[in-house]
Amino acid sequence: MAERNTDRIRYRYGICLNDNCEKCKSKELQEIPARKEFVCPECGKPLRECPPPKKGGNTKLIGIIAGVVVLLAIIGCIIAFSGGSEEKPAPTPVPEVKENTDSIKAAQEAAEQQRIKDSLDAVAAAEAAKKQEAEKKTEPAPAAQKPAKPASGSKNLGYATFKGSWPNDVNGRMVFTSSHVIDSKDPKGRVAEAGDYVIGEWADGHLVQGIWYGSDNQVKGSVIIGR
């Protein structure tokens, strides 16, 4: 335990997030001395700190194997001293523990590397999502759609000015210069204020249907009267 704490003090571990760096592409966990600047030795960019890799894990297994070897040695001694004229059995071969230890160590290292890779993938995915969210926030808002321009020509009605082909136009504009009902045939008797305007279809000098805008160019509503 003391060795692990000392290792944490002496070294810091991190990964490089610079997409142009080979260390970042390989997702290598870098060990940096604690007294040195915590940057990538390859590209000089700051590192993202990660937990140190796990060490050990084989102590219990080695103890079991050592116990087996000692037990087999004791059995061999007993057989050697108790033998007489009888044929001594062949000694029990000692299992090859080195190959087993190496294979277990390799499996543990592979599992640790996979854990580090998964951690790096999660960090990279979080960074990508954060970058994408920031790009969405910086995108300019779409400009408000401007009403279509009416046809050429105008007619002064006293309370309003009609721009288009009077009295029939499929896209005429009525701009009110004073407070007045939008159209005498409107059953709701809606009143437009000075500066309001209506764009729509006109027939025989009366509004058939259209959109009613305020002087601030915001839609106040739709007006449908019919012919």
> Model confidence over 80-95: pLDDT tens digits?
777 644 555 666 665 5
pLDDT for residue 25: 83
**pTM for the full predicted model:** 0.35
User: CB count, 10 Å around CB of 150?
Assistant: 21
pLDDT for residue 150: 46
Domain ranges of the chain: 2-50, 59-130, 154-224
More confident residue, 53 or 148: 53
Torsion on CA atoms 115, 120, 121, 124, rounded to nearest 10: 170
Averaged confidence pLDDT in the chain: 81
Check whether 3 has a pLDDT greater than 70. Answer: no
Q: Which two structure tokens, joined as six digits, stand for 128?
A: 């990508």
Average pLDDT over residues 30-56: 84
Express each pLDDT in 97-151 by its tens digit. 556 777 888 888 888 888 888 878 888 888 888 888 888 776 665 555 555 554 4
Check whether 175 has a pLDDT greater than 90. Answer: yes
